Amino acid sequence: MDTYLDRLNPEQRLAVETVDGPLLVLAGAGTGKTRVLTTRFAHILLSGRASPGQVLAVTFTNKAAREMRERVSALLGRPAEGLWLGTFHALCARMLRRHAEYVGLSSNFTILDTDDQLRLLKQVMELHRIDTKRWPAPGLMGAIQRWKDRGLTPERVTPAEDTEFAGGKARLVYGDYQRRLAELNAADFGDLMLHMVEILRARPDVLAQYHRFFRYMLVDEYQDTNTVQYLWLRLLAQRPDGSANICCVGDDDQSIYSWRGAEVENILRFEKDFPGATLVKLESNYRSTAPILAAASGLIAHNDGRLGKTLRPGRNDAEGEKVMIASVWDSDEEARMVGERIEQLQREKQSLSEMAILVRAGFQTRAFEERLITLGIPYRVVGGLRFYERQEIRDAIAYMRVLNQPSDDLAFERIINVPRRGVGDVALSALHTLAREERIPLTMAVLRKLQDGSLKGRVREQLNALMETLARGREMLSRSAAEDLGPAHIGVVEMLLEESGYVEMWKKDKSPDAPTRLDNLKELVRALVDFETLGGFLEHVSLVMENDENAGAERVNLMTLHGAKGLEFDSVFLPGWEEGVFPSQRTLDEGGEKGLEEERRLAYVGITRARKRALISHAANRRIYANWQSSIPSRFIDELPPEHVEQMGSAALAREQMRNAPPVFGGQFPLSARRPRTIEAWEQPARPKREGGIAPGTRVFHQKFGYGIVEGAEDGKLDVRFEKAGFKRVLDNFVEPAGA
Ligand code: ATP
Ligand code: MG
């Protein structure tokens, strides 16, 4: 009868059937913690202990919430409705709407996005006469968020905590910011939790309501809760009579959000806060094959201060392939290798949605996205935008479009005031009017208005500088074309992004995602290297963007390691395991074991996502803009137990090493205050020139354009008719002969 219980091992069953009282499941990856939670949910309902609305279940992502809802429905055999199931924030938002008046809001309050938040904070800072140049608003926003993560309202922040910012004014500003939010009937993201905790603390009647209402509480990924979330859980769970029906599942080895205020110590506090709690350990991993498990366990053993857990294979087909380690020449080869492997798996009838490429940082998706597009393999970027859809990439491409095509009004409009040049709505509409009346492009209208003196002051200065930069860029491009100096567009684009102030804008931005955006911009410039002209690149981008509509469920998953928590796939690709990428450069710069241990946990999360196969790769060279830098394999690779991994050779790497081709050791970031690089300093990637040409009629493969037939050849250049991209003239050392 009890089929759903039969699908559990004895420990899991214990965790499901110990329904009353506090319970902590502490167990390694893939041991069925989430399965326990879902089954427990169903068990509570099926055994008549509570109705669906009386269980509070917290997941880490909305995706996980959806999955849990589906799984509970499946176990129940009917749609599960009226559930209190979701992320901390979603649940809190729902609760807060019912009690908003207690914190001075009405129930239809708005939830501000980060832009609105910052704008509001800046206004408050101005009232306090804080110099936002010296004390940038995003920095203070971060401090306020951290306070909120810790459950600290302005009143609870002690003066001792408030010394760093603006001479101790942060607390004051925080208080006024909260008051402004209330006046606007608005809450920011952090408020959702903070307000609810305040209400539960201050209003015993409300708390008592929830104590009656929620009979059971379930919490997934408990290791990544921060203090305010912990307080919220504890308030809701601890009833006045001392009882608490709360079940938390977690794994200290998978704590990867300390940068967002998560406190792994919450696990240790559980037994203290909930005396008499049952502790269940699960030790059989049902997800991964034995070698994958052994590799992951061997890696995480390098961390100190673990709670210590045993993990053993629980599957009977646990033989399996070793974890593969591929050393490749550069990131292009890495993407090619992963693409080939995916095609091979496809031929073996493996489902694309069972494959995932997990990267450390968002910029890494670009090479894979382009490769997958070239190969015609559908993919989705989970939890984020595709590379060319990201805001900073669209902005930078708008700059390039204006450079390439001064009459591109849409692009120009996007960038005319990014970064801010004081071009207000009035000025912009005057420009539009002029452009319309005279039938000239907007850029031309700007020039006219600069000439006739109708633009004044800062706007004039700034637009003048922008137009000069654009003109200089265009001149550099045409000179290099006329004098046949080779591709100049990379240096020109760098110059443009620098001197227009666009890069500077993100450097000054103190918001947490600014470094990521700068990384993406660097990656964009790197992408230019494969094209001979700016026009060629822009055309490529529009092709890539068009490819958007390959809908359908069958897609390869691309996501960050952080986003992959709790998920599983048959095949997992883990690229970029190099010092400075993973572990990240920031972690290395900060030094210290703490950051490194968190990176190592992230690596552990990565490997343990794989059911059947995991392929780790590292490139010997990374391009930093147009320069090359040699890179060292990640220390995490050395830490994998050798008996469970297998080195995969790379033909190209071997070839390059045989030739002893020295990469260019650059390693400096040109997006710094340095002068823009000139064409002379630009180096072709250290790829060998092919001996002898490729004859017309040969079928070839180009990294960007895919397969095609050579129609003509002339000093290092080939005319190729590509199957997908049409007719193109390309450099022959970007082309490889391909089988028919
Ligand atoms: P993570 O730490 O990564 O979140 P987890 O501990 O939550 O992992 P689950 O995702 O619940 O683990 O389970 C991992 C896989 O093992 C799932 O595919 C699940 O269906 C399967 N599984 C769990 N328990 C059993 C079992 N007793 N028998 C067979 N398969 C199981
Ligand atoms: Mg899980």
Query: Binding residue per annotation — 31?
Result: yes
- The rounded distance, in Å, linking the Cα atoms of 418 and 106 is 36
Least confident of 503-517, 524-538, 678-692: 678-692
Please list the alpha-helical segments (H only) found in 626-678.
635-638, 651-659
Q: Is the pLDDT of residue 373 over 90?
A: no
Each residue's pLDDT tens digit, 244-269: 999 999 999 999 988 777 777 888 88
- The rounded distance, in Å, linking the Cα atoms of 86 and 67 is 10
Side-chain half-sphere CA neighbours of 736 within 13 A: 11
Higher-confidence residue of 712 and 253: namely: 253
Least distant ligand from the CA of 9: 1
Q: Which two tokens stand for residue 423?
A: 């071009």
- The rounded distance, in Å, linking the Cα atoms of 738 and 740 is 6
Q: Which two tokens stand for residue 663?
A: 């990469």
Most confident of 113-127, 135-149, 395-409, 563-577: 563-577
Each residue's pLDDT tens digit, 190-226: 999 999 999 999 999 999 999 999 999 999 999 999 9
CA-nearest residue, atom 2 of ligand 1: 29
Q: Which amino acid is at 725?
A: A
Q: Which two tokens stand for residue 370?
A: 């382009």
Q: Is the pLDDT of residue 674 over 60?
A: no
Tell me, what's the pLDDT at 481?
77
Q: How far is CA 200 from CA 102, 106, 314, 608, in A?
A: 10, 17, 43, 38
Taking the centre of ligand 1 as the mean of its atom positions, its distance from the CA of residue 550, in whole angstroms, is 31
- The rounded distance, in Å, linking the Cα atoms of 631 and 628 is 9
Mean pLDDT along residues 618-628 = 77
Query: Binding residue per annotation — 33?
Result: yes
Q: Is the pLDDT of residue 658 over 60?
A: no
Taking the centre of ligand 2 as the mean of its atom positions, its distance from the CA of residue 30, in whole angstroms, is 7
Atom of ligand 1 nearest to the CA of 221: 4
Q: Is the pLDDT of residue 76 over 90?
A: no
Q: 101 exposed, middle or buried (CB, 10 Å; 0-12, 13-18, 19+)?
A: exposed
**DSSP letter (8 states) at residue 636:** H
Tell me, what's the pLDDT at 317?
60
Atom of ligand 1 nearest to the CA of 251: 2
Q: Is the pLDDT of residue 279 over 50?
A: yes
Atom of ligand 1 nearest to the CA of 7: 27
Catalytic residue among 117, 254, 365, 587: 254
Query: Binding residue per annotation — 34?
Result: yes
Q: 419 exposed, middle or buried (CB, 10 Å; 0-12, 13-18, 19+)?
A: middle
Q: Is the pLDDT of residue 740 over 70?
A: no
Catalytic residue among 609, 622, 677, 704: 609
Mean pLDDT along residues 30-37 = 94
Which residue matches tokens 């391009």?
A: 623
CA-nearest residue, atom 19 of ligand 1: 32
Lay out the sheet containing 735-737: strands in order across.
726-731, 717-722, 706-714, 699-702, 735-737
Single out the residue of 490, 463, 465, 464 nearest to residue 477, CA to CA.
Answer: 490
Q: Give the residue, out of 26, 33, 35, 37, with the most ligand 1 atoms within 8 A of its beta carbon, to mutate for a pocket test.
A: 35
Side-chain half-sphere CA neighbours of 97 within 13 A: 9
- The rounded distance, in Å, linking the Cα atoms of 310 and 28 is 8
Side-chain half-sphere CA neighbours of 499 within 13 A: 20
Query: Binding residue per annotation — 28?
Result: yes
Please list the alpha-helical segments (H only) found in 114-162.
114-127, 137-149
Q: Give the domains, in start order, of the chain with CATH numbers.
A: 3-93+194-282 (3.40.50.300), 110-184 (1.10.10.160), 299-378+550-681 (3.40.50.300), 391-537 (1.10.486.10), 699-737 (no CATH)
Residue 48 has φ and ψ, to the nearest 5°, of 75, 15
Residue 673: pLDDT band (50, 70, 90) is very low
Each residue's pLDDT tens digit, 113-156: 777 788 889 889 988 988 888 888 888 998 899 999 999 999 99
Residue 666: pLDDT band (50, 70, 90) is very low
Atom of ligand 1 nearest to the CA of 35: 11
Least confident of 88-97, 509-518, 543-552, 582-591: 543-552
Tell me, what's the pLDDT at 739?
62
Query: Binding residue per annotation — 32?
Result: yes
Q: Is the pLDDT of residue 675 over 50?
A: no
Catalytic residue among 11, 12, 33, 252: 33
Q: Which two tokens stand for residue 109?
A: 């309050």
* 221 flagged as catalytic: yes
Atom of ligand 1 nearest to the CA of 605: 3
Q: Which two tokens stand for residue 194?
A: 């903070």
Strand runs labelled E in 266-405: 278-282, 284-285, 312-313, 323-328, 355-359, 379-381
Please, are residues 414 and 423 in contact by the beta-carbon 8 Å criterion? Answer: no
Tell me, what's the pLDDT at 671?
30
| 401 bridge partner residues | none
* Residue ranges lining ligand 1, Cβ < 6 Å: 7-9, 12, 27, 29-35, 251, 254, 286-287, 566, 568, 608
Region of 62 (left: φ > 0; alpha: ψ -120 to 50; beta: rest) is alpha
Mean pLDDT score across all residues of the chain: 85
Taking the centre of ligand 1 as the mean of its atom positions, its distance from the CA of residue 705, in whole angstroms, is 41
Catalytic residue among 34, 374, 516, 587: 34
Catalytic residue among 188, 221, 392, 579: 221
Q: Give the residue, out of 13, 247, 286, 562, with the most ligand 1 atoms within 8 A of its beta carbon, to mutate for a pocket test.
A: 286
Mean pLDDT along residues 449-465 = 90
Least confident of 431-440, 656-665, 677-686: 677-686
Catalytic residue among 149, 162, 220, 408: 220
Taking the centre of ligand 1 as the mean of its atom positions, its distance from the CA of residue 580, in whole angstroms, is 33
Least distant ligand from the CA of 30: 1
Three-state SS at 670:
coil
Taking the centre of ligand 2 as the mean of its atom positions, its distance from the CA of residue 94, in whole angstroms, is 24
Q: Give the residue, out of 4, 26, 34, with the most ligand 1 atoms within 8 A of its beta carbon, to mutate for a pocket test.
A: 34
- The rounded distance, in Å, linking the Cα atoms of 486 and 646 is 42
Please, are residues 324 and 645 in contact by the beta-carbon 8 Å criterion? Answer: yes
* 254 flagged as catalytic: yes
Query: Binding residue per annotation — 27?
Result: yes
Taking the centre of ligand 1 as the mean of its atom positions, its distance from the CA of residue 571, in whole angstroms, is 16
Percent over 70 (pLDDT), the chain: 89
Secondary structure percentages of the chain, helix, strand, coil, to 5: 50, 15, 35
Q: Give the residue, out of 287, 354, 607, with the most ligand 1 atoms within 8 A of its beta carbon, to mutate for a pocket test.
A: 287
Neighbours of ion ligand 2 (CB under 5 A): 33-34, 566
Region of 28 (left: φ > 0; alpha: ψ -120 to 50; beta: rest) is beta
| 619 bridge partner residues | 328
Q: Which two tokens stand for residue 669?
A: 């970031």
Residue 543: pLDDT band (50, 70, 90) is low
Taking the centre of ligand 1 as the mean of its atom positions, its distance from the CA of residue 258, in whole angstroms, is 25
Taking the centre of ligand 2 as the mean of its atom positions, its distance from the CA of residue 44, in whole angstroms, is 19
Is residue 628 within a helix (H) or strand (E), and if so which, with residue range?
A: strand 627-630
CA-nearest residue, atom 26 of ligand 1: 8
* 33 flagged as catalytic: yes
Higher-confidence residue of 116 and 439: namely: 439
- The rounded distance, in Å, linking the Cα atoms of 254 and 249 is 12
Atom of ligand 1 nearest to the CA of 285: 16
CA-nearest residue, atom 4 of ligand 1: 566
Q: Which two tokens stand for residue 292?
A: 């994958």
Tell me, what's the pLDDT at 544?
66
- The rounded distance, in Å, linking the Cα atoms of 660 and 674 is 31
Each residue's pLDDT tens digit, 377-389: 888 888 777 888 8
Tell me, what's the pLDDT at 686?
38
Mean pLDDT along residues 507-512 = 84
Least distant ligand from the CA of 38: 1
Q: Tell how far CA 539 is from the center of its chain.
A: 26
Higher-confidence residue of 137 and 617: namely: 617
Tell me, what's the pLDDT at 687?
38
Least distant ligand from the CA of 26: 1
Residue 316: pLDDT band (50, 70, 90) is low
Q: Is the pLDDT of residue 230 over 70?
A: yes
pTM confidence score: 0.77
- The rounded distance, in Å, linking the Cα atoms of 541 and 182 is 44
Least confident of 279-288, 346-355, 473-482, 644-653: 644-653
Taking the centre of ligand 2 as the mean of its atom positions, its distance from the CA of residue 360, in whole angstroms, is 20
Three-state SS at 440:
coil
Tell me, what's the pLDDT at 318?
53
Least confident of 288-297, 593-602, 719-728: 719-728
Q: How far is CA 155 from CA 159, 173, 179, in A?
A: 10, 12, 12
Tell me, what's the pLDDT at 136?
85
* 220 flagged as catalytic: yes
